[in-house]
Structure 1
Amino acid sequence: MTDEGIAMTHLISDLVAWLDASAFHLDTTADTAAAVLPKLADAGLFGLGVPVQWGGNGGHVADAVNAIAEVSAHSLTAGFVFWGHRTFIEYLLQSPNAALRETLLPDLLAGRRGGATGLSNAMKFLSGIEELSVQSQRSGTALQLDGYLPWVTNLPATGFDVALAVKGADGAPAFIAALTSDESGLERSPDLDLMAMRGSNTAALKIDGVRVGEDRVIHHNATEWLPKVRPAFLAMQSALSVGLARRGLAEATARLRNDRDILSEPVAALSAELTSTETALHEGLRGGRFIEHPASLFRLRIHLAEIAVQAVQFELSASGGRAYLSQPGAGFQRRLREAAFIPVVTPSLVQLKLALRVQELPAAVGATA
């Protein structure tokens, strides 16, 4: 894939203007949270990588990855909402449950309902990091679900659908289900008291006796299905880092003058590193390599997060003391808070490194045997 292909812009000028004007409020309050989904939907962003016959714009999921990066360069809160929503859409695209897809996609593509990926726990389960937090038991012809998800993004008050992994009943495999906000027994907490990104509609979900039937099952075997959707999940999540890194480096570059031109070389080097890492991400995603080799995707996700954090630090160094003043430094201060989020978004960098160690351990044992 060419660098020009990666750099393709998907954002219209009206959306860019709104994101720039709203970024501070999206970061610090929930006042404008309800506007994010409609704004992104009106720009046609949710249809990127969605087949035309299902109401989308066609193309590849890599197009959505780049669009999330572009949005995140202006507001990581909006990018985070975009990631959660588009990831849920991807689950439906890769589900054999055509009826569920046909029912939910129109409202999701139009931004009328939120789509939430509650599968962070499941991705950690797949890597052997933790057990599933939602259980099931048989109740007549349906299953009864109980559990708790402590952190789920894009749960608007106007209505949402959320994906979650469930431990199978009576020894059956773990499965993936989609719950609607209207379900009896599904309780959304108040918005979490976050340090930043408060406009992301992030809350906890309590699942108490929720009944689901076949019509709400995304896939019957989580262990079989999750490795197939994990590349899109993590690649779109990595786009948050890409967008923040692009913006931090652009801001740093704009301030390289006089006594700060000593930063020119390291900033240029980090920019080149970002481009090459992003290219590797897109090539691996388009080529399907990450399904059989998830460790390579984990490493790219970790590296892009590290680049994003370093890029924001370069912006600080290039800005000097003005970055510490409330008004001229407001944009940098928001990006600094956003950068603090990048390493801890689930799966966190620590969890990814642990997963890599677990994967690499058998090879190391074999080499020393």
Structure 2
Amino acid sequence: MSVRATLPAACAEWLAQAADGIDTGIEPASIILPRLSGAGLVGAGVPAEAGGSGGDIVDGVAAISAVAQESMASAFVLWGQRTYIEYLLQSPNRELEGRYLPDLLEGRIAGATALSNAMKFLAGLEPLQITARQDGDTLVLDGKMPWVTNLRPAGFHVAAAVDRADGGPAFIISLAHDDEGLVRSADLELIGMRSSDTAAVTLTGVRVGRDRILAEKAVDWLPRVRPAFVGLQCGMSIGLARRAIIEAGNAAGSGRGVLGEPIAEVQNLLDRTEARLFAGLRSREFEVDAASLFELRIELADIVAEAVSLELQAAGGRAYLARSGRDFARRWREAAFVPLITPSLVQLKSALQQKLKAA
């Protein structure tokens, strides 16, 4: 099974020219989302009746993959936007979807997911970092979100998992940039992927109504959205690996023909892994078999590492020169981020190990 998204020519050309500036922070993050939205990428896999371009979650993964071939930071922004949209689509809160979705699809406001903590909570890896107490009909929230992407200062919505101070079931809520008591930090000082509006959020006495709740019971809802959360993440690895393989193949000329076979092998492995991911997303098997999804995410990270290593070997010393190796250096930094995307590879492997011990 192969699904490929093709970037509009103008978008592809812009991403190719801006990728280094986006990675280093020279290009402003504010221009990324409107560009991606204008190219129809935000609506990929969103039902046409909801304002999207149709298709399914696999089309969303393919769109992120296509962007990641040019710019991992831009793909990271698209992942945050598309994942938040998926939460709205899968939430029983239809009123919230109707209120937020048009602006999200048009790129007028950003959507972010702070559910990495929740996914680790679901796997038994850490407690939730936000708590809520009831004050009449209002929820009062305190806590933190230490690392969130696509927190566009001009306006954002962010999904968060919340523990109840009274001991009731944890729930998922949507917060907004202008909620009183919500403070966005300055952008985190990343070594790359700087123009991604990645920051921390602190909540101090934030008061919101129950109309912002996306799901009343996190433990029931999270397994249903986890395949989209992780699957869309995998699009970043697929796109980065594919671009590195292309570049390795182009560079493996005179004196480097010995690399032909390993390049072909990693390409075949990428194709097979991508096909398994797409099949599992469409069959919805990952809703009950999270372990297989985690294993695919780990495998894709290994493929990325092998692909950029082959690109380096194929390019030789040119890859280590500042001018000729600029794009490779960016991909090397992007590849270094793949194991850290939450849930990180260490956390995924820990969850798999716990599952084996419990079996």
Query: Is the counterpart of residue 344 in structure 1 residue 340 in structure 2?
Result: yes
AA in 2 matched with 1:226: L
How far the C-alpha of 1:100 sits from its partner, in A, is: 0.4
Give the whole-Å Cα distance in 2 for the aligned partners of 1:113 and 1:30: 22
- In the alignment, is residue 37 of structure 1 matched against residue 33 of structure 2? yes
Instruction: Look up the match of 1:228.
Output: 224
Q: Cα distance, 1:309 vs. partner?
A: 1.2
Kindly indicate whether the alpha-carbon contact (under 8 Å) linking 1:136 and 1:144 is maintained by their aligned counterparts in 2: yes
Whether 2:104 is the aligned partner of 1:108: answer yes
CA contact (8 A) 1:22 1:32 kept: no
Query: Is it true that 1:264 corresponds to 2:260 in the alignment?
Result: yes
SS in 2 for 1:157: coil
Cα displacement (A) at 1:31? 3.1
How many Å apart are 1:155 and its aligned residue?
0.6
Partner of 2:166, secondary structure, is helix
* 1:164 partner amino acid: A
The AA in structure 1 aligned to 2:121 is F
Structure 1 residue runs without a partner (length 5+):
364-369
SS at match of 1:342: helix
The residue that corresponds to 2:323 in the other structure is 327
Match of 1:249 among 229, 245, 256: 245
Shift of 1:10: 3.3
Say whether the 8 Å CA contact 2:319–2:326 is kept in structure 1: yes
Distance 1:201 1:12 in 2: 24
C-alpha distance in 2, partners of 1:27/1:19? 11
Which residue number corresponds to residue 367 of structure 1?
A: none
Distance 2:175 2:118 in 1: 15
**Residue equivalent to 2:63:** 67
1:1-369 correspondence to structure 2 within 5 Å: 2-3=1-2, 6=3, 8-29=4-25, 31-363=27-359
CA–CA distance in structure 2, aligned partners of residues 327 and 39 of structure 1: 27
1:297 Cα shift? 0.2
Q: How many residues align?
A: 359
TM normalised by structure 2 equals 0.99
State the distance in 2 between where 1:337 and 1:159 align: 28
Deviation at 1:53, TM superposition (A): 1.6
Q: CA RMSD of the aligned region, Å? A: 0.8
2:296 partner letter: L
Consecutive unaligned residues of structure 2, counting only runs of 5 or more, are none
| Alignment deviations for residues 130-189 of structure 1 (CA, whole Å, 9 cap, x no partner) | 000001111121110000111000011110000000002312100000001010000000
- In the alignment, the residues of structure 2 paired with residue 246 and residue 165 of structure 1 have an alpha-carbon distance, to the nearest angstrom, of 34
Contact 2:18 2:27 in 1 (8 A): no
- Letter of the structure 1 residue corresponding to residue 7 of structure 2: L
Runs of 4+ in 1 over 6 A off after TM superposition: none
